[in-house]
């Protein structure tokens, strides 16, 4: 009987040593079942570090770099209302720095108007400069403005829009509806698009499904390397973004910059003729080739066309209640490309600068011949 208390004491000591010596034992583990019993649900564990995919990280890196060089542009012009009051009219758009000295590319329509006051707000939302216009290119809706930064400004690299491919990723940065520093992504939907507006026809545009809205105009369209391949210019229709936006290829801007560097100004070529498009039955009625072309209606005195010997009409006839001059040259090809419609000459001129040669194939005296015209220079409108 005396051995029983000793035996129980030994068992209790051995049990205590065994339990307290286990490496995984702790009070919290022992009480965990009781804690869970008091909860109706358990929340998921929160990730301690964010892990981004390769495409996400590419977007983030490009945004950090490009947003610093993208600016908000405010243009103010003064108009007279019906009561002869002079009131300010304000417009907004985007732009981007192309060098550390403060030169900024944007759309012409962002800084349009006679003698606008232009202000540029930098990406920090605090720094604001007054800008001046260095050049405007109406045909390509481009403008170059300049500010005087207090320190070297961040700027973007200009890429090569001639190698842009349908399907490649693009990133747009700008200030849609005044929401500065907005990034949208998409792909190149098409290249070489022709877009008609009330004022001018644009050709060779880059189409994208990256969201572009009012205020994005003038902002950069970037490739996955962060190089600018286009300048966001317009959307399809007036109902806002529907996934069809257009950007001016950056190589147009590079051509403008090169002409500004070499000539000190941006020129607009001038041929000096007015034309009407004829084809089919109308051409045959005028004893012209049925494929038709651009029939010259007038040759301006002292123009490049006159110097090259292009001929205007000798008489006029009435076709469908409209007077048409006949007997002049019929332009059937431009730079070796057949005339297809009334915009053929305008499209060719959009690829030229003052002083460039334009080769015209004309039908004259029942045979075709080539005429080379050295284009003149027309004054740029405001």
The two tokens of residue 42 are 């358990």
pLDDT at residue 78 greater than cutoff 80: no
What confidence score (pLDDT) does residue 36 get?
52
- Which of 159, 156, 161, 101 is CA-nearest to residue 134? 101
What confidence score (pLDDT) does residue 40 get?
47
Query: Average per-residue pLDDT in the chain?
Result: 85
Query: Do the beta carbons of residue 74 and residue 91 sit within 8 Å?
Result: yes
**Catalytic choice (141, 209, 223, 329):** 141
Mean pLDDT of 290-316: 94
Domain range summary for the chain, segments of one domain joined by +: 65-146, 161-263, 268-378
DSSP conformation letters of 273-295: EEEEEE-HHHHHHTTS-TT-EEE
Q: How many residues does the chain have?
A: 382
Is-catalytic flag, 42? no
Mean pLDDT of 98-116: 91
What confidence score (pLDDT) does residue 92 get?
87
**Catalytic choice (94, 217, 303, 344):** 217
pLDDT at residue 35 greater than cutoff 60: no
pLDDT band at 200, cuts 50/70/90? Answer: confident
Per-residue burial over 315-335, b if 16 or more Cβ lie within 10 Å, else e, is eeeeeeeeebbbebbbbbbbe
Nearest 5°: CA angle at 308, between 302 and 312? Answer: 75
The string of pLDDT tens digits covering residues 50-66 is 688 899 999 999 999 99
Phi then psi for residue 336, to 5 deg, are 85, -5
What confidence score (pLDDT) does residue 343 get?
80
pLDDT at residue 340 greater than cutoff 50: yes
**Catalytic choice (94, 109, 137, 209):** 109
Residue 369 burial by CB count (10 A; 0-12/13-18/19+): exposed, middle or buried?
A: exposed
Domain 268-378 CATH (choose: 3.30.420.40, 3.30.450.80, 2.30.42.10, 1.20.120.450): 2.30.42.10
- Separation CA 194–CA 100 (nearest Å): 34
What confidence score (pLDDT) does residue 267 get?
84
In degrees to the nearest 10, what's the CA dihedral of 165, 69, 245, 227?
0
- Separation CA 67–CA 328 (nearest Å): 55
> Which residues 6+ apart lie within 8 Å of 132 measured at CB?
118, 145, 146
What confidence score (pLDDT) does residue 382 get?
47
Beta pairing class for 357-364 and 367-374? antiparallel
Inter-CA distances, 330 with 47, 89, 273, 311, Å: 73, 46, 12, 9
Inter-CA distances, 331 with 310, 311, 316, Å: 10, 11, 18
Q: pTM of the predicted model, to two decimals?
A: 0.72
Is-catalytic flag, 75? no
Helix/strand/coil for 122: coil
Do the domains 161-263 and 268-378 sit in the same CATH topology, yes or no?
Answer: no
> 92 or 119: which carries more pLDDT confidence?
119
State which fold the 161-263 domain adopts: Thrombin, subunit H (2.40.10)
> Which residues 6+ apart lie within 8 Å of 335 measured at CB?
348, 358, 359
- Which of 328, 291, 286 is CA-nearest to residue 311? 328
The two tokens of residue 168 are 């490649």
The CATH code of the domain at 65-146 is 2.40.10.10
What confidence score (pLDDT) does residue 381 get?
55
Is-catalytic flag, 141? yes
pLDDT at residue 42 greater than cutoff 50: no
pLDDT band at 179, cuts 50/70/90? Answer: confident
Query: Do the beta carbons of residue 170 and residue 188 sit within 8 Å?
Result: yes
What whole-number percentage of the chain has pLDDT above 70? 82
Mean pLDDT of 132-160: 93
What confidence score (pLDDT) does residue 37 get?
47
């Amino acid at each position: 009987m005396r051995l029983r208390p000793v035996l129980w004491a030994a068992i209790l000591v051995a049990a205590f040593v065994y339990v307290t010596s286990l490496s995984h034992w702790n009070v919290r583990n022992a009480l965990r079942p009781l804690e869970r019993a008091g909860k109706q649900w358990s929340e998921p564990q929160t990730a301690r570090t964010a892990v981004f995919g390769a495409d996400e990280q590419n977007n983030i890196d490009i945004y950090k770099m490009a947003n610093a060089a993208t600016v908000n542009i405010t243009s103010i012009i003064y108009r007279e209302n019906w009561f002869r009051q002079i009131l300010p009219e304000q417009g907004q758009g985007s732009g981007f720095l192309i060098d550390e000295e403060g030169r900024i590319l944007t759309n012409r329509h962002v800084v349009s108007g006679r003698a606008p006051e232009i202000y540029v707000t930098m990406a920090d939302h605090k720094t604001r400069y007054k800008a001046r216009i260095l050049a405007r290119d109406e045909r390509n809706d481009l403008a170059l403005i300049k500010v005087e930064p207090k320190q070297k400004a961040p700027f973007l690299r200009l890429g090569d829009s001639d190698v842009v491919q349908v399907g490649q990723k693009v990133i747009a940065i700008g200030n849609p509806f005044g929401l500065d520093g907005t990034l949208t992504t998409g792909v190149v939907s098409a290249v070489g698009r022709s877009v008609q507006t009330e004022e001018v026809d644009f050709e060779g545009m880059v189409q994208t499904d990256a969201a572009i809205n009012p205020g994005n105009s003038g902002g950069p369209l970037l490739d996955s390397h962060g190089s600018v391949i286009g300048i966001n210019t317009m959307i399809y229709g007036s109902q806002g973004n529907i996934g069809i936006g257009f950007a001016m290829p950056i190589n147009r801007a590079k051509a403008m910059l090169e002409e500004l560097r070499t000539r000190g100004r941006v020129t607009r070529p001038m041929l000096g003729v007015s034309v009407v498009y004829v084809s089919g039955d109308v051409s045959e009625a005028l004893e012209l080739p049925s494929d038709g072309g651009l029939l010259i209606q007038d040759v301006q005195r002292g123009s490049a066309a006159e110097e090259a010997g292009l001929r205007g009409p000798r008489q006029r006839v009435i076709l469908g209640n409209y007077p048409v001059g006949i007997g002049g040259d019929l332009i059937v090809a431009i730079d070796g490309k057949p005339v297809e419609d009334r915009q053929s000459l305008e499209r060719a001129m959009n690829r030229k600068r003052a002083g460039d040669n334009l080769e015209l194939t004309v039908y004259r005296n029942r045979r075709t011949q080539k005429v080379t015209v050295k284009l003149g220079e027309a004054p740029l409108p405001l």
